[in-house]
Amino acid sequence: MRTPPSPPTVLLVEDHIAVRTLQRFLLQRVGMTVVECDDLADGERLLREFTPDMVVLDVNLPSGHGLSLLPLIDRTSTRVLVMSGMNQAHLARLSLRGADAFMPKPFEPSAFLTQIQELLPWPAAQ
C-alpha cells in the first residue's frame, strides 16, 4: 500500500496578526502544515529546531530586518518567499539575492497561493 506524501511545512515569519492569520488560512486550505512566529528571535529558534520546506518571510519585523534570517536557512531544502509592504525595486533585488521570490503587499490571495505552489509543488494544492 502506497503511503501518501506528508504535507509540506511552511514557516511564517510575520508580525501582523491579521496578515499571519490570512497566510495560515490560505495555506491550510490547500493542506499545508503551517508553523508561525512573529519576530526574528522566534524565527531563528524555529529554524534551528526544524527544517521547513518553505519560509514566508516578512521584511519589516519589530525586532529587526527579516532578511537577516536568510543566512540561517538551508537553501538546499528550503524555499524562501520574501514579502514586504515596501514595493521597491531595490528591496526586491536585495531579497532575491538570498530568496526564491519576492511578493509585495498588498497581495492577491490567489497570486500568493500560486507563488507558493510554484515554489513548492504540492499534490493537494488546487
Partner 1 sequence: MKGHHLLLGFGILSLGISLSLTVLILATVVTLLGGYASTEAQSVATVLGFTCVAGGLCCAVLSGLQFAQLSAQERGERNGQLREAQWSEALLAWAYHDTPLPQPLDQAGAETLLKLRDTITGEHSDKLQDLYAQEGWLARDLTALARPYLSVVARAQIIERLALLREARALDALSHELTHPHREIRALALLALSRSVGRLNLGHDDRQTRTLALHTAIIRGQFSVGQVQEALTLLGDAGHPLARNLLTTGTLALRVATLEVLSRQRSSALHDDVTGLLYAGQDELRAGALKVFVRSGQVPAEAAAVVLALTADPTSFVRLQATRAAAHLTPCPLERLWVLMGDGHWWVRRAAAQGLSQTPAGQNLLHRARSSHPDRFARDAATEALSASTEHTGTAVPSTVHVRTPWVAGQA
* Cα separation, 88 vs 5, whole angstroms: 38
Site for partner 1 in 46-85 (CB under 8 A): none
Cα angle vertex 106, ends 101, 109, to 5°? Answer: 75
Query: Does 4 sit near partner 1 (CB under 8 A)?
Result: no
What is the nearest approach in angstroms of partner 1 to the Cβ of residue 108? 5
- Binding of partner 1 by 96 (CB under 8 A): no
Distance CA 28, CA 21 (A): 10
In the complex, the smallest distance separating the C-beta of residue 41 from partner 1, rounded to whole angstroms, is 7
By CB under 8 A, residue 22 contacts partner 1: yes
Residues in the chain: 126
Contact status: 109 vs partner 1 (CB under 8 A): yes
The helix-helix angle for 17-29 and 109-119 (nearest 10°) equals 60
Closer to partner 1 at the Cβ: 38 or 100? 38
Nearer to partner 1 by Cβ, of 12 and 53: the residue is 12
Instruction: Report the residue from 44, 68, 92, 105 that binds partner 1 according to the rule CB under 8 A.
Output: 105
C-beta of residue 78 within 8 angstroms of C-beta of residue 52: yes
Strand 60-61 relative to strand 64-65, pairing: antiparallel
Residues forming contacts to partner 1 in the complex (CB under 8 A) are 16-19, 21-22, 25, 29, 39, 41, 89, 105-110
